[in-house]
Amino acid sequence: MKASLRKMGNSQGVIIPKAVIAQLELSDSVEMTVTDTAIILEKPKTARAGWSEASRALAEAGDDGLVWPDVANADDADLKW
């Protein structure tokens, strides 16, 4: 799809068609990445995106031990796992 740059105040911009915004389910903001040859717009990532997969990989590698195993919380004995 070819689009034209348009003057917007002191800047220039591209109008994104409503159908494209709906197709990608974009809302109020996007993540913008600039490479040598492209501008990439994506849905904003959630703060914890990928944490589940990273935790699973740590557990599978056996690298999910306690950081400070000798430090416990006062009520840890009451917890049932």
Q: Is the pLDDT of residue 1 over 80?
A: yes
Check residue 35 and give its pLDDT. Answer: 96
**At residue 53, what is the residue type?**
E
- For residue 77, being part of any structural domain is answered with no
Q: For the chain, report the end-to-end CA distance as a whole number of angstroms.
A: 55
How far apart (Å, rounded) are the C-alpha atoms in residues 38 and 20? Answer: 18
How far apart (Å, rounded) are the C-alpha atoms in residues 43 and 31? Answer: 6
Predicted confidence (pLDDT) per residue in 16-68, tens digit: 999 999 998 888 899 999 999 999 999 888 778 788 888 889 889 988 877 77
State which residues form the domain around 37.
1-65
Q: Identify the H or E element spanning 54.
A: helix 51-60
How far apart (Å, rounded) are the C-alpha atoms in residues 16 and 24? Answer: 11
- Which CATH number covers residue 51? 2.10.260.10
- For residue 51, being part of any structural domain is answered with yes
Q: How many domains does the chain have?
A: 1
How far apart (Å, rounded) are the C-alpha atoms in residues 28 and 42? Answer: 12
